[in-house]
C-alpha cells in the first residue's frame, strides 16, 4: 500500500497534574505540574514510503486500551483515507494497561505489551495513567523536533492532529481542557465517541483528582475541535447531556445508523485495502470479536467508518485553511423518560448526518438493540429488513439504484462522504440483488 511501519521506544520523565482551583463543568480548567516519574513506552509510526507523497500532516492517535491491549480504532476506521492522501500516523501507548497489561472490557483477556512479549517489551515501564497526559505531550514534541524520530526525519511536518476514540476520547477531553492551554502542542483535535464525563485528571496510585460527571470542551481554545458521536454515545454513554453548540472552533457531528463500535472496526476494516466495493456491503454477524464474544443480535454494520473519513478530511482542511466545516444536523432525541433517539417506521434514526445506510436502507441500523454484556451493548445492531419490506421499498433494482445514487450524491455534496468512497459504495449497490 506504499506505507512503511516503524516502532520505537520513547523514554523520559513525565509529570502528573494537579488542579489549581475548581474543575468546573465548562472545562475551563487551570492545572499545574506535580509529581514526576520516569517512563519508557512505545510508539508506532506509519508513513508514506515516498517522501513526496507526505501531505505534511501527522495524525497522533491515543491508542485505546478498553480491550486490555493497545488498539488503534481510528486508524482502522480511517486508514484508507489516510493512505490515499499521504498522512503520517503515530500511535502512542500512553496508558498503563497498554504497556503493563490489565483486564479488558467485557471479560476480554489482558494483552499488554510486556506480558504478551516480555523479550521484546520487557524494558518498558509505565508509572500510571496520571502521567499519560504529559506522555502524549512529550511524544508530540518529539514528532515536531526534526530528527528525533528516525522514521520522520526526512519529512517536513506542518500539522499535528490528535485523535482518540472511546476511552481515549474521554482522556483527550481532559487533555484539551487541562493541557492544551499550557502546551499548545496540537493543531487540532478529533474527539471520537466521548461520554458525558471525561477521564480523571489524576488517579491511583497517585492522588485521585476526579472531574465533574458532565463536562463541556472549553470554548476559549485557539485550535479547532471536531467531536464525532455515534448513536450509542448519546444514549448509553450519556453524551446527549453535554451536547455543545458549534462555535468558530468547535463542531459536533452525530451520525445516524451508527454504534460505538461495529463490524468494520473488528471484522472488515483490518483487511480493507481501499479498493474493494464489497466492503460497503452490510454484513450480519453476531461476533464482535470472532471466536471470543457472541451477541444475541447481529452487530452494527453502519456508516461510521465512511463518515469518519470525511470528518478527518474536514478537520485537516479546517486546520490547514482555517475554514470550518458547515454545521451538521443533530440526531432527533427525546428525553422523557430516558434519552431516546427518534426513529422512522423502519427503526432507523431521524436527524443527524445522513447516508444511504439509513435513507436507502436494507437493514435497521442502531446504536442500541442489544442485550447482555457491555461489549455487545457497545456494538449496537443491524437487523436485516424482511423480503416483503424490501420488495415494497424497491420494486426493481433500478428504483433501488436511483434512490441510492441520490442519497450518495447528497452525502458527498454535504461533505459527509468522500468521493472515492461514494464510488465504491455505488459499485457495491449495483452488484447487489436488491430489487431483482
Q: pLDDT by residue (tens digit) across 370-415?
A: 998 999 999 999 999 999 999 999 999 999 999 999 999 999 999 9
Burial 289-303, CB ≥16 within 10 A → b, else e = beeebebebbbbbbb
Which is it for the CA torsion 57, 69, 261, 290, positive or negative? positive
pLDDT tens by residue, 64-119: 999 999 999 999 999 999 999 999 999 999 999 999 998 878 767 778 999 999 99
Q: 282-311: per-residue pLDDT in tens? A: 999 999 988 888 999 999 999 999 999 999
Residue 19, H or E segment: strand 3-19
For the cut 90, the answer to whether the pLDDT of residue 431 exceeds it is yes
pLDDT category at 41 given cuts 50, 70, 90 is: very high
Q: Are the beta carbons of 173 and 191 closer than 8 angstroms?
A: yes
CA distance 179 to 201: 10
Distance between CA atoms of residues 11 and 9, nearest Å: 7
Q: Distance between the two ends of the chain, CA-based, in angstroms?
A: 36
**What integer best gives the mean pLDDT of the chain?**
97
Q: Which residues pair with 119 in a beta bridge?
A: none
Dihedral sign for Cα 295, 301, 306, 308, please: negative
Provide the pLDDT for residue 383: 98
Residue 352 contacts residue 365 (beta carbons within 8 Å): no
Residue in the block written with cell 498503563: 96
Long-range contacts of 328-333 (CB under 8 A, 24+ apart): 328/251, 328/252, 328/253, 328/254, 328/352, 328/353, 328/414, 328/416, 329/254, 329/353, 329/354, 330/243, 330/252, 330/254, 331/231, 331/234, 331/254, 331/256, 333/234, 333/240
In the structure, what pLDDT confidence band is assigned to residue 50 with cuts at 50, 70 and 90?
very high
| CA atoms of 192 and 265, how far apart (whole Å) | 13
DSSP class of 176: H
Cβ atoms of 191 and 81 within 8 Å: the answer is no
Q: How would you class 62 by CB atoms within 10 Å of its CB: exposed for 0-12, middle for 13-18, buried for 19 or more?
A: buried
What pLDDT is stored for residue 108 in this prediction? Answer: 74
Record the cell numbers describing residue 303, joined without a space. Answer: 456508516
Q: Which residues contact 195 (CB under 8 A, 6 or more apart)?
A: 170, 233, 237, 238, 239
Closest by CA to 365, choosing from 289, 293, 284, is 284
162: nearest Cα among 145, 146, 147, 183: 183
pTM above 0.95, yes or no: yes
SS3 387: helix
pLDDT digits (tens, 9 = 90+) for 304-337: 999 999 999 999 999 999 999 999 999 999 998 8
C-beta atoms surrounding 342 within 10 Å: 11
Quick one: average pLDDT of 195-200?
A: 98
Q: Percent of the chain at pLDDT above 70? A: 100
Question: In the chain, where are the structural domains located?
Answer: 3-431
pLDDT for the residue 291: 84
Question: Residue-wise over 25-37: b if at least 16 C-beta within 10 A, else e?
Answer: eebebebeebbeb
For range 349-378, the mean pLDDT: 97
User: Does position 249 have pLDDT exceeding 80, yes or no?
Assistant: yes
What number is the average pLDDT over the span 24-44? 98
Q: What is the average pLDDT across 357-379?
A: 96
How many helices (DSSP H) and strands (DSSP E) are in the chain? 15, 12
pLDDT of residue 130 exceeding 90:
yes
Residues 354-375, mean pLDDT to the nearest whole number? 96
Amino acid at each position: 500500500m506504499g506505507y512503511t511501519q516503524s516502532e520505537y521506544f520513547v523514554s523520559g520523565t513525565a509529570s502528573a497534574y494537579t488542579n489549581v482551583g475548581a474543575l468546573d463543568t465548562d472545562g475551563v480548567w487551570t492545572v499545574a505540574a506535580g509529581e514526576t516519574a520516569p517512563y519508557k513506552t512505545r510508539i508506532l509510526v506509519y508513513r508514506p514510503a515516498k517522501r513526496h507523497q507526505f501531505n505534511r500532516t501527522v495524525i497522533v492517535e491515543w491508542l485505546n486500551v478498553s480491550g486490555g491491549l493497545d488498539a488503534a480504532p481510528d486508524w482502522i476506521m480511517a486508514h484508507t483515507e489516510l493512505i490515499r492522501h499521504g498522512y503520517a500516523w503515530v500511535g502512542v501507548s500512553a496508558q498503563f494497561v497498554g504497556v503493563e497489561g490489565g483486564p479488558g472490557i467485557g471479560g476480554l483477556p489482558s494483552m499488554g505489551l510486556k506480558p504478551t512479549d516480555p523479550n521484546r517489551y520487557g524494558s518498558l515501564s509505565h508509572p500510571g495513567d496520571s502521567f499519560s497526559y504529559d506522555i502524549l505531550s512529550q511524544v508530540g514534541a518529539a514528532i515536531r523536533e526534526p530528527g528525533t524520530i528516525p522514521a520522520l526525519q526526512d519529512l517536513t511536518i506542518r500539522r499535528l492532529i490528535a485523535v482518540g476514540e472511546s476511552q481515549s476520547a474521554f482522556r483527550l477531553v481532559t487533555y484539551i481542557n487541562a493541557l492544551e492551554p499550557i502546551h499548545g502542542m496540537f493543531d487540532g483535535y478529533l474527539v471520537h465517541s466521548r461520554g458525558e464525563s471525561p477521564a480523571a485528571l489524576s488517579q491511583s496510585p497517585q492522588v485521585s483528582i476526579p472531574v465533574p460527571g458532565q463536562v463541556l470542551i472549553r470554548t476559549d481554545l485557539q485550535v479547532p475541535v471536531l467531536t464525532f458521536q455515534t448513536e450509542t454515545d448519546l444514549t448509553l454513554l450519556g453524551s446527549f447531556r453535554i451536547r455543545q453548540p458549534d462555535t468558530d472552533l468547535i463542531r459536533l457531528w452525530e451520525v445516524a445508523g451508527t454504534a460505538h463500535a461495529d463490524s468494520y472496526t473488528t471484522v472488515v476494516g483490518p483487511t480493507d485495502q481501499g479498493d474493494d466495493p464489497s466492503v460497503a456491503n452490510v454484513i450480519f454477524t453476531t461476533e464482535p470479536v470472532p471466536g471470543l464474544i457472541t451477541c444475541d443480535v447481529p452487530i452494527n454494520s453502519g456508516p461510521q467508518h465512511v463518515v469518519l473519513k470525511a470528518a478527518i478530511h474536514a478537520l485537516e482542511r479546517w486546520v490547514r485553511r482555517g475554514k470550518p466545516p458547515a454545521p451538521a444536523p443533530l440526531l432527533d432525541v427525546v428525553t422523557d423518560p430516558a434519552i431516546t433517539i427518534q426513529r422512522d417506521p423502519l427503526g432507523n434514526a431521524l436527524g443527524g448526518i445522513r447516508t444511504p445506510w439509513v435513507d436507502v436502507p436494507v437493514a435497521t441500523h442502531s446504536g442500541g438493540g442489544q442485550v447482555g454484556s457491555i461489549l455487545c451493548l457497545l456494538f449496537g445492531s443491524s437487523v436485516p429488513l424482511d423480503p416483503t419490506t424490501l420488495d415494497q421499498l424497491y420494486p426493481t433494482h433500478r428504483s433501488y439504484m436511483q434512490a441510492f445514487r441520490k442519497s450518495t450524491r447528497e452525502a458527498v455534496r454535504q461533505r459527509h462522504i468522500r468521493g472515492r468512497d461514494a464510488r465504491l459504495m455505488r459499485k457495491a449497490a449495483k452488484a447487489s440483488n436488491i430489487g431483482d
